[in-house]
Chains A and B, each alone.
Chain A
Amino acid sequence: MGQIEQLRKGSTSLLILQLLEEKPMYGYQIMQEMEIRSEGYFSMTAALLYPALHQLENEDLLKSKWSESQGKRRRKYYSITDKGRKSLQEDTALWQEFVHRLFKTLRKSLPGSEEIS
């Protein structure tokens, strides 16, 4: 697996939690939303997404509920838990720190931020 792919895989949980922090979604919807927002950069296959959703649910970061609506197929909606929100905050801070330190070490400025000496 290439470096970029490893990074993408490592950010899967963060991306899923962020999307579900805004509103509950079902699997296909999560995939669509991720692709639209990232302009195709984060394009996850179902083979990765659904096991990741189940794993997050096992860790109590998400919870799921099957929706029942007349005449329509039932969908499994995922929503974030309090533990998930906490994890999202911590992971976001970690990633921000990581990116900041990385660029500082490389002595490059981040787009839209001050020059780092």
Chain B
Amino acid sequence: MNKEEPFLKKLHKELRDFPEEKQKEILEEINNHLEESEQETLGGEQNKYEMKTGSPEEMAVNFKEVYRPRRFLDLLLVILPLYVLFPLLQILLPYFKPVSSELQISNVLLNIRITFLISAFLLVIARRRKALFLSGFWLVRTLMTCLTLIFREDRGNILSLSSLPVLIENIFWLLIFLLLLFLLVKAIQKNKNNFLFLVFLLMPLAVLPANLTLYGLVSGQSVSLLSSSESYLWIVLFEKALEISAYCLIFLGTKRGLRWAGLILLGTGSTYSLLKAYGVHVFTYLPAAFVILFCLLDILKDPLKQIMKRTG
């Protein structure tokens, strides 16, 4: 396959969001078509492709319609659980007391388990829809919830032999964790050239240590910069609005630039309330900086490859 062919080059660029296997398959099929239609050229190279083939941009838009249908549904499958379902769960938590007492577990543990089940269910839906970003989103969240279940403070030593049922449960969660980790590594490997997806996938994992570090650094501060808890509430609401806008750009955006903008917004939004509460700190800007760095790498990836090829 001649990847240098202008049509294929443009098409390849437009399909960067697609899984690598699907890209290869489409490009090979279109390459075959172009080679077959070479016999029927009607003038200059540009005419040949545009008249019988259409433009690569048009083809890419049509393929995106096929493989990213109902993007709005993907967005809803993120926003509704995150900003409606899980907060509702928190509010209803006190009413779970009879259930948690019956199961002899704390309300918090019950909440985390329900969160895990919902996240895992949404992961299954996302994989069935073959929605790359949605699958990545719920894969990471399910993994992080699983980690929370394994490393809870009240659990103690996770491989303790003091109680057999607890040990069996711990092993069960460890196995689930390993399975999710395997899926994560597989997703990273399959999409290693898709920086947009990789950053989206790994952002929560990058934000978490940043947040924990920041909490550790500022926890000694006895006075918050905010005048009241009411102003903190408005700031948190604004932060959530930033996050929702970011997800809209990421899931609904058809242009790569828009989706990168969404990621930068997400990186900023995820630590906005900390910034307002505790002032400027390097870790507050770490997630956004992480995104901007990879965005620049994504933009410069192809030109750098060209330069390296020429210099041999």
Contacts and interface: CB of A to CB of B under 8 A. Distances in A.
Contact of A46 (B25, B28, B53, B66): B53
A48 B5 CA distance: 20
Contacts of A55: 65-66
Interface of A: 26-28, 45-48, 50-52, 54-55, 58, 73-76
B5 to A, nearest CB: 14
A45 B36 contact: no
A50 B35 contact: no
A54 B63 contact: yes
Q: Tell me whether chain B's interface is mostly helix, strand or loop, or mixed.
A: helix
A54 B54 contact: no
Contact of B36 (A28, A47, A58): A28
Interface in B51-83: 51-56, 58-59, 62-63, 65-67
Q: Tell me whether chain A's interface is mostly helix, strand or loop, or mixed.
A: helix
A51 B29 contact: no
B59 A51 contact: yes
Interface residues of B, number: 23
A47 B33 contact: no
Interface of B: 25-26, 28-30, 32-33, 35-37, 51-56, 58-59, 62-63, 65-67
A30 B249 CA distance: 38
Nearest to B56: A47
14 contacts: A27-B29, A45-B51, A46-B52, A46-B53, A47-B56, A50-B30, A51-B62, A51-B65, A52-B62, A54-B63, A54-B66, A58-B66, A75-B32, A76-B28
A28 B34 CA distance: 9
Contact of B32 (A48, A52, A76): A76
Nearest to B36: A28
Contacts of B25: 76
Contact of A76 (B29, B53, B59): B29
B63 A73 contact: no
A52 B67 CA distance: 11
Given A46-B54, A47-B54, A48-B54, A73 B35 contact: yes
A21 to B, nearest CB: 21
B55 A47 contact: yes
A47 B57 CA distance: 9
A58 B56 CA distance: 21
Nearest to B57: A47
A54 B66 CA distance: 7
B33 A51 contact: no
A47 B35 contact: no
A52 B54 CA distance: 14
